Chain A
Amino acid sequence: MSEPLLQVSDLLVTTVAGDPVLDHVSVEVGRAESIGLVGESGSGKTALAHAMLGFARPGLRLSGGSVRIAGEELLTKSETDLRALRGRKVSYVPQDPATSLNPSMRIGDQLREICRIHGRQTETEEIIPTVLGRVDLPSDRQFQRRFPHQLSGGQKQRVAIAIALACDPPLIVLDEPTTGLDVVTQAVILQEVRRIQRELDVSLVYVSHDLAAVAAVADRVVVMYAGSIVESAATDVLVARPRHPYSRGLVSSVPDHRRARRLRGIPGVAPAVDDHPVGCVFGPRCELFTDACAAEQPSLVALSSDHWVRCIRSEDTPPPTSEPRLAAPGLAADMEPILRVQELVADYRSRGIPFTAVDRVSFIAQPGECLALVGESGSGKTTIARCIVGLHQPSGGTIAFDSRRLQPSARRRSLEQRRRIQIVFQNPYESLNPKRTIRDAVSWPARALRGCSRQQAEQEVATLLDRVRLPAGLAQRYPGELSGGERQRVAIARALAARPDLLVCDEVTSALDVSVQAATLDLLRELQTELSLTMLFITHDLGVVASVADRVIVLERGSLQEEGDVLEILRAPAQPYTRRLVEAAPSLMATENGLPSPADVP
């Protein structure tokens, strides 16, 4: 094989304080090859993506090693030379197109600008329609005269990709380009990226925390953990039989709607940047950890010509788990529903203009079941949750809890009703009061809703923390000292302190890393079974639904589309909208054409 297009060798990126963010990383990208960089927050994947353009975020420093594109060394170049090179030799598609496009410049002008910078203004009028066509955008004048705010999220991301394509670079680095997009849009963009890569024979580096998304576009996957590459293999090999325990944990953590199974997270948290453990960096979280692992950081060894792994026990790593999901607590079909929502209508005012977020939605929840409300952003799922817990005033319809009608406002409801319905919010960084200790936060609901004395309530804290698998010592800490996953567990413990019968979970895992998400979902499922909780699980992620829910309700723009047993709906969706969602949801089981291979069908 000829020389690779991109050659990163022994790259060292450090913080200004000297702590390594990337610890001697080497990676190669061949011509017309597509690789995926996967890792959770703090793994260094974005730092590596930036280094491929000769860039380091403020606060970081490119301290050593080399980055070569087609033989040209980037790290010794001046900023001016780099600027001439970026866009022409390598281009970058950032995570959030809403902030990366200039809001005061027309789309056409932004494309023209990049051509002008790279001295191709004479060809501009041919280039622009071509690149817009490549990303399936209209290329007429009318469209070129639009401003970014007149485009949808998916269109903005396409424009960003078009800008990256404008000067025909042989290498494109995409940094989480579909995070924040709806599943259907994400699926379309992923397909387009793959198609463009094939058609133009460009090389791709696709950075993401989402292994399923990466699997859809990459020939080869590079798994990063705490600043090092821990495994690199062809996509299908890595997904089927990962050899590093961390990769295995990741594969087991990815929720997959094509395979409803118990999700197993990875215990513990990744080391901080200024924390330099001796031995294997993953050791503290590894099930296969032995004394030999603690001795020194294992080196990357080749299992085959294109499968590399940084683990001394890679031969012993078992295949990814495929345990059946936990069964629902026994449902008695003849029981009165615990929650009955009838003809619910809810409006919002946006700049004075009323807008119907929920339009005559009716459903029931049986005691002890986990009911998922699924839909894209704007489907009204969160508004329904807010109506149920009394945070949003419905404009019509009724909500009955345990056969009694609920008042619209939480404050008007009886103490008993408020105690029995609890909610866990989406954003763990906001749901806990930063000025109250964990003990205070977790004990308060018992005092406010169950009339416990302070001593009684605080005695329960240790049990509650244990219930959500947190050490009792956490009680005296403040939320600021906890990780996102830990905070979300505290929020769950706080809800459990009220001894609820109905737990509303509003996108509780969407802000968490996949391995943490898996552990949190597993915990919720266990709690639900143990405590016979009824759960109302609001999410946009069908994979999550498949691993926790018993029944599902699909919402589109405020109205109910479909309702039924989770496994049946995922297997055979009746409504076109549901079918689109199911087909678009990323899956590790999906083959290239978006269908599961025959071997996977049960």
Chain B
Amino acid sequence: MIAASQPRLRRNSQTLTSSWPTRISLVVVVLLLLLVIFGPLLTPHSPTAELGPPFARPSSAFPLGTDYAGEDVLSRVLVGGRSVILIGGIATVIGYLIGGVIGLVAGYQRGLTDSILMRGMDALLAFPPIIFLLLLATGFGNSLTALTLGIALIHVPGVARIVRTAALETSVRGYVEAALARGDRVRVILRREILPNIWGPIVADGGPRFTVSILLVAAVNFLGLGIAPPNADWALMISENRSGLTLNPLSVLVPAFMIAALTVSLNLLADQIARAHGSSVDVQAMRR
């Protein structure tokens, strides 16, 4: 029985790379990240210079054609992922840090602390995200900091709820009781005993959350309340060029495809990582 089971790490990496969708999404995510990092070094033209007629069809000079202002679509695609991924990523991470701490404390302490914290989260949850962001934009103008923090705040209640449910379930296990009986500090118990056991669902939930962040950034940019032209941004490009969809379809389709590829593969990957992590908690049940 024992001899048959393999060391855990090897088992994880095996499941992680054993299915084709996972392999593909892993490759796509890595490629997109490389693109975001090195893309600006590869641009054939300046992404913000008017170089030709608007909505020109692809040519040797402009492989993906030009956009509404006659800027090079390829160069703008190479540069335009940065804002989406950076703002989305930073916002998700901040949301996780705040929501995670609130959820851990609420789930572990229970009782009154739990009630107060979670009712606060319920109140936050009552705000429709887009309206919340639009309000922020009206208040602070096109501030990227405000946008990032706003998106982070949108994630806080959801993250807190998931982490709380998982912590609630884990904190009654025998190993946590053993730690309590040893008198381990709360910080130690959370770090040593609880966090490693709720990691799976948190990661699994991270994929969709990052996607939501990206879509929110894109939505705000599309509405023209985030990144302002002439800066290059995938979402902004869709918005700017939609009038020229028939003239140069690539000016809309390529940035749209980039967003889709990024979000779909991130989701697949996160699910797979969570599964390999041996999550015993049902994420789907917790999202409800």
Contact = CB atoms under 8 A, between A and B. Distances in A.
Interface string A28-59: 00000000000000000000000000000000
A482 B2 contact: yes
Interface in B158-186: 173-175, 177-178, 180-184
B1 A275 contact: yes
A93 interface: no
B196 A423 contact: no
A494 B177 CA distance: 13
Interface string A185-201: 00000000000000000
A415 B183 CA distance: 8
B174 A430 contact: yes
- Contact residue range for chain A? 35 or more
Interface string A468-488: 000000001110111100100
Contacts of A425: 174, 177-178
Interface string B197-208: 101000000000
Contacts of A481: 2, 5, 8
A476 B7 CA distance: 9
Contact of A418 (B4, B182, B188, B192): B182
A494 B181 contact: no
Nearest to A422: B181
A432 B196 CA distance: 13
A525 B2 CA distance: 27
A410 B193 CA distance: 17
A483 B184 CA distance: 27
A415 B8 CA distance: 34
A269 B8 CA distance: 22
A516 to B, nearest CB: 13
A272 B174 contact: no
Given A272-B4, A478-B8, A445 B182 contact: yes
Contacts of B197: 433-435
A425 B197 CA distance: 19
Nearest to A413: B183
Contacts of A445: 182
Given A431-B175, A435-B196, A269 B1 contact: yes
B239 to A, nearest CB: 45
Contacts of B184: 448
Interface of A: 269, 271-272, 274-275, 389-391, 410-411, 413, 415, 418, 421-423, 425-427, 430-436, 441, 444-445, 448-449, 476-478, 480-483, 486, 491, 494, 498
27 contacts: A269-B2, A272-B1, A274-B4, A390-B180, A391-B177, A411-B183, A418-B182, A421-B181, A423-B178, A425-B178, A430-B174, A431-B178, A432-B174, A432-B175, A433-B175, A433-B196, A434-B278, A436-B192, A441-B175, A444-B192, A477-B7, A480-B8, A481-B2, A481-B8, A486-B2, A494-B178, A498-B182
| 8 closest A-B pairs by CB | A431-B174, A435-B196, A430-B174, A433-B175, A389-B181, A425-B174, A272-B1, A418-B183
